[in-house]
Amino acid sequence: MPGGGWPLGHLVEVLQQEQQQHVWQLLGPALAQAMQAHGEPVVLVNAPYQPFGPALRAQGILPERLLCVQADKPAARLWAAEQSLHCADVCAVLAWLPQARSEDLRRLHLGAQDSEKLLVVFRPVPARHQASPARLRLLVQGTETLEVRILKRRGPPLLQALSLQAQPARLSALLAARKSRRPSEVAVPEPGRLHVLDRTPTLAG
């Protein structure tokens, strides 16, 4: 990407077929850097999954500095994202706005410009045919491996898709080891108790 990272003070749009849990693997390094540099929280507006604290902490993201806002109505989600951008004690805003219109995105874009914050809006794939003020627009597909296509950016177009690991390396190794075990080697948890590996981590990535 131009500048070697996520642009601040501009709208970044991520398009996905379904709301996946790979947000943290995609944006984790940038969010960790922003938190460590400024010590300010990140606001999540209508995130589809509850963040999994231990996995995020391993990436340098402090779970206690994540502010989750849930709203049922599209107008309330937009309002929450706008207000978060205007808050001086926030370093980044991640918002899931599947029903946002072009004029809504422009308002958020202007808010990000005024605040110089990282703003990422997640929308469905059909939105790629709609006009958007986003400076950076990505199409993210895949489950085990993320295929990231840059639909819009400053500078020359990038036609080749980028491949990213969808899960942290340590988690991928753990799941692969578990999958390769013979049935006789799999420990059976006691009735009424969940084994630590039987819990699906709500980690985006």
The verdict on residue 136 lying in a domain is yes
- Residue 12 is predicted with a pLDDT of 95
Pair 91, 41: CB distance under 8 Å: yes
Q: Which domain holds residue 107?
A: 11-178
Assigned domain for 41 exists: yes
Domain membership of residue 3 (yes or no) is no
Predicted pLDDT of residue 5: 78
21 CB-near residues (< 8 Å, 6+ apart): 49, 202, 203, 204, 205
- Asked if residue 28 belongs to a domain, the reply is yes
Q: How far apart are the C-alpha atoms of 43 and 126, rounded to whole Å?
A: 25
Q: Give the integer Cα–Cα distance in Å for 12 and 136.
A: 5
Question: Does some domain include residue 33?
Answer: yes
Specify the pLDDT at position 193: 43
Name the pLDDT band for 171 (thresholds 50, 70, 90). very low
Question: What is the average pLDDT across 148-171?
Answer: 67
What does DSSP assign to residue 47? -
First vs last C-alpha separation in the chain: 20
Confidence (pLDDT) at 203: 31
For the cut 70, the answer to whether the pLDDT of residue 122 exceeds it is: yes
pLDDT at 188 over 50: no
- Determine how β-strand 66-69 pairs with β-strand 42-45: parallel
3-state class (DSSP) for residue 144: coil
Average pLDDT on 53-60 reads 85
pLDDT, position 6: 87
Residues 112, 106: Cα–Cα separation, whole Å: 10
Kindly state whether residue 129 falls inside one of the protein's structural domains. Answer: yes
Q: pLDDT value at position 11? A: 95
User: Which is higher by pLDDT, 36 or 65?
Assistant: 65
**CATH label of the domain that carries residue 24:** 3.40.50.300
Q: Tell me whether residue 195 is in a domain.
A: no
User: In the predicted model, what is the mean pLDDT of residues 103-109?
Assistant: 95
What is each CA distance from 62 to 67, 88, 144, in whole angstroms? 11, 19, 25
Give the integer Cα–Cα distance in Å for 80 and 147. 30
pTM as predicted:
0.76
The number of distinct structural domains making up the chain is 1
- Specify the 3-state DSSP secondary structure of 199: coil
Q: Does 42 map to a domain?
A: yes
pLDDT at 174 over 50: no
Predicted confidence at residue 167, as pLDDT, reads 53
